[in-house]
Amino acid sequence: MKKDFITIADLNKKQINDILLLAADIKKRPEDFREVLKAKTLALIFEKPSNRTYVSFQVGMYQLGGNSIYLGPEHIKLGVRETIADVAKTLSRYVNAIVLRTFAHKNVVDMAQHAGVPVINGLSDLLHPCQGLTDIFTVKEKTGRYKNMTMAYIGDGNNVCHSLLHSCSKVGLNLHIATPFGYEPDPGIVKQSRIFAKDSGSIIELFTSPQKAVRGTDVIYTDVWASMGQEEEAAKRKKIFAEFQINQSLLKLAKKNVFIMHCLPAHRGDEITDGVINSKNSVVFDQAENRLHVQKAILIKLLT
Ligand code: CP
Ligand code: NVA
Q: For residue range 260-298, what is the model confidence (pLDDT) as tens digits?
A: 999 999 999 999 999 999 999 999 999 999 999 999 999
Annotated catalytic residue 101 = yes
3-state secondary structure the chain: CCCCECCHHHCCHHHHHHHHHHHHHHHHCHHHHCCCCCCCEEEEEECCCCCHHHHHHHHHHHHCCCEEEEECCCCCCECCCECHHHHHHHHCCCCCEEEEECCCHHHHHHHHHHCCCCEEECCCCCCCHHHHHHHHHHHHHHHCCCCCCEEEEECCCCHHHHHHHHHHHHHCCEEEEECCCCCCCCHHHHHHHHHHHHHHCCCEEEECCHHHHHCCCCEEEECCCCCCCCHHHHHHHHHHCHHHCECHHHHCCCCCCCEEEECCCCCECCCECHHHHCCCCECHHHHHHHHHHHHHHHHHHHHC
Give residues (CB < 6 A) around ligand 2.
Answer: 123, 158-160, 223-224, 227-228, 263
Annotated catalytic residue 131 = yes
For residue 156, the ligand closest to its alpha carbon is 2
Report CA(111)–ligand 2 centroid distance (Å).
21
Look at residue 42 in the predicted model and tell me its pLDDT: 98
Q: Going by CA atoms, what residue is nearest to atom 1 of ligand 1? A: 263
Annotated catalytic residue 268 = no
For residue 287, the ligand closest to its alpha carbon is 1
Catalytic residue from among 105, 128, 162, 176: 128
Q: What is the pLDDT of residues 95-148, one digit of tens each?
A: 999 999 999 999 999 999 999 999 999 999 999 999 999 999 999 999 999 999
Q: What is the pLDDT of residues 153-185, one digit of tens each?
A: 999 999 999 999 999 999 999 999 999 999 999
Annotated catalytic residue 223 = yes
Q: pTM (2 decimals)?
A: 0.98
- Average pLDDT over all residues of the chain: 98
Give residues (CB < 6 A) around ligand 1.
Answer: 50-54, 123, 131, 263-265
